[in-house]
Amino acid sequence: MRTQVAIIGAGPAGLLLSHLLHLDGIESVIVETRSRADIEATIRAGVLEQGTMDILNESGVGQRMRGQGALHHGFELAFGGKRHRIDLTGLTGKAITVYPQHEVIKDLVAARLAADGQILFEVSDVALHGVDTQTPSATFMHNGEARSIEADFVIGCDGYHGVSRPAMPAQEQRKNFQRIYPFGWFGILVESAPSSEELIYARHERGFALVSTRSPTVQRLYFQCDPADHVDNWSDDQIWAELHARLENHDGWKLAEGKIFQKNIIGMRSFVSTPMQSGRLFLAGDSAHIVPPTGAKGMNLAVSDVKLLAHGLEQFYKKGSGERLASYTDDALKRIWRAEYFSWTMTRLLHTFAEATPFEREMQRAELENIVTSRAMATALAENYVGAF
């Protein structure tokens, strides 16, 4: 098989890239290890920044998001027994949408298939070859047959555990930056109307908790936990007791309970691997960087990488210039490091660190007080949250 751009992985990065390239008249083929049903059912991110909403709308795949997503003009920070609103729109003129990642995936898969785009699901043994030549290729197994795709470019959109980052030449010269946090998030999906119109990020001595939504009938709730814990160690009653203890303050607000129909635990890390390109192989999204989920930046960063790559590839094919592709790593890293900083800041501010001294805990509380009492500090936080940079 021959195509212009071979894309490894059908997550938000790979699917959106293929869609944007198609709109520019550039051919691509996506290979994905999982099934269509599996990628369309995996519960992950929920928050879309303004820039992510804009690109989905501008590229014609925003219709369901506009109809079913919930536009949020603010969120709440809860600590010390009180809730404080961060007025995103008042402070920045922008907003976010809560619309689940797997719905974005459904919209993008549908758009690619409607345009006769090629997505090969359930492939295995993916390997990349000749990435420093003009004719890179990917080999893999599909439906029991050995297949290969030759392309002008290979784009690694295969997430943190994919094959693309390890296939980058000169591994010994790569720079990897990493921080692993000593906690994880226990996430649940609950059949009930939202407890709060806006997201609540809560700091409590027992640990962080987050109230989010998925739809008018489903809540998404998280609480800080031991990353090595297992969901089976927690009865539903224990989960509710923990969430009530961390979230309910003295103002009468109540967390609505309902049937818990999904539970998972995720570990948390910050990670950046550079460079994000070598010859004709480029990395985008989680294959090159990870943020802890507290700032809701992961999927949004994948989208901003892909926007840069789509422009670079358009310039290459339409104008014969490799200039924007050449500066991809530098251009992408500017935003990535700021999002890494913000995600680390939100994580540091809101979680309980077992090893923190009493002094450090007071500093954490004082920083939160600063944010909710200083318009300048709140504006900086809001700008980062909506992605206004």
201 is catalytic: yes
User: Nearest residue by C-beta to ligand DHB?
Assistant: 46
293 is catalytic: yes
72 is catalytic: yes
Q: Which of 204, 297, 307, 351 is catalytic?
A: 297
Give the gyration radius of the chain's Cα atoms. Answer: 21
Question: Would you count residue 20 as binding ligand FAD (CB under 6 A)?
Answer: no
Question: Would you count residue 47 as binding ligand FAD (CB under 6 A)?
Answer: yes
Q: Which CB atom, from 215 or from 249, has the smaller least distance to ligand FAD?
A: 215
Q: Exposed, middle or buried by CB within 10 Å (0-12, 13-18, 19+), for 338?
A: middle
Q: Which does 149 bind (CB under 5 to 8 A by kind): ligand FAD, ligand DHB, none?
A: none
Are 51 and 300 in contact, with CB atoms under 8 Å apart?
Answer: yes
Half-sphere exposure of 112 (CA within 13 A, CB side): 27
Are 227 and 267 in contact, with CB atoms under 8 Å apart?
Answer: yes
Residue 289's CB: how many other CB atoms inside 10 A? 27
Half-sphere exposure of 295 (CA within 13 A, CB side): 30
Residue 384's CB: how many other CB atoms inside 10 A? 21
Write out the two tokens for 32.
Answer: 């994905």
At which residue do the structure tokens 């224990």 appear? 238
Residues 247 and 12: their CA atoms lie apart, in Å, by: 32
- Which residues contact residue 125 at a Cβ distance below 8 angstroms, ignoring those fewer than 6 apart? 139, 140, 141
- The count of chain residues that interact with ligand FAD, using the rule CB under 6 A, is 34
Question: Would you count residue 12 as binding ligand FAD (CB under 6 A)?
Answer: yes
Question: Would you count residue 109 as binding ligand FAD (CB under 6 A)?
Answer: no
Write out the two tokens for 223.
Answer: 């609480």
Least Cβ distance, residue 47 to ligand FAD (angstroms): 4
* Residue of the chain from 6, 10, 21, 339 that contacts ligand FAD (CB under 6 A): 10
Contact flags string 208-247 toward ligand DHB, x per CB under 6 A: --x-x-------x---------------------------
* Residue of the chain from 6, 26, 47, 190 that contacts ligand DHB (CB under 6 A): 47
Q: Which does 349 bind (CB under 5 to 8 A by kind): ligand FAD, ligand DHB, none?
A: none
Q: Which CB atom, from 18 or from 52, has the smaller least distance to ligand DHB?
A: 52
Q: Pick the piece of the chain touching ligand DHB (CB under 6 A) from 7-15, 39-47, 117-125, 132-140.
A: 39-47
341 is catalytic: no
What pairing do the DSSP bridges indicate for beta strands 137-142 and 145-150? antiparallel
At which residue do the structure tokens 């619309």 appear? 99
Residues 104 and 108: their CA atoms lie apart, in Å, by: 6
Q: Which does 268 bind (CB under 5 to 8 A by kind): ligand DHB, ligand FAD, none?
A: none
Question: Would you count residue 293 as binding ligand DHB (CB under 6 A)?
Answer: yes
Q: Which CB atom, from 154 or from 202, has the smaller least distance to ligand DHB?
A: 202
Which positions are annotated as active-site residues?
72, 201, 293, 297, 385
Q: Which residues would be at the binding site for ligand FAD (CB under 6 A)?
A: 8-14, 31-34, 39, 44-47, 101, 126, 157-159, 162-163, 187, 266, 285-286, 293, 296-300, 302
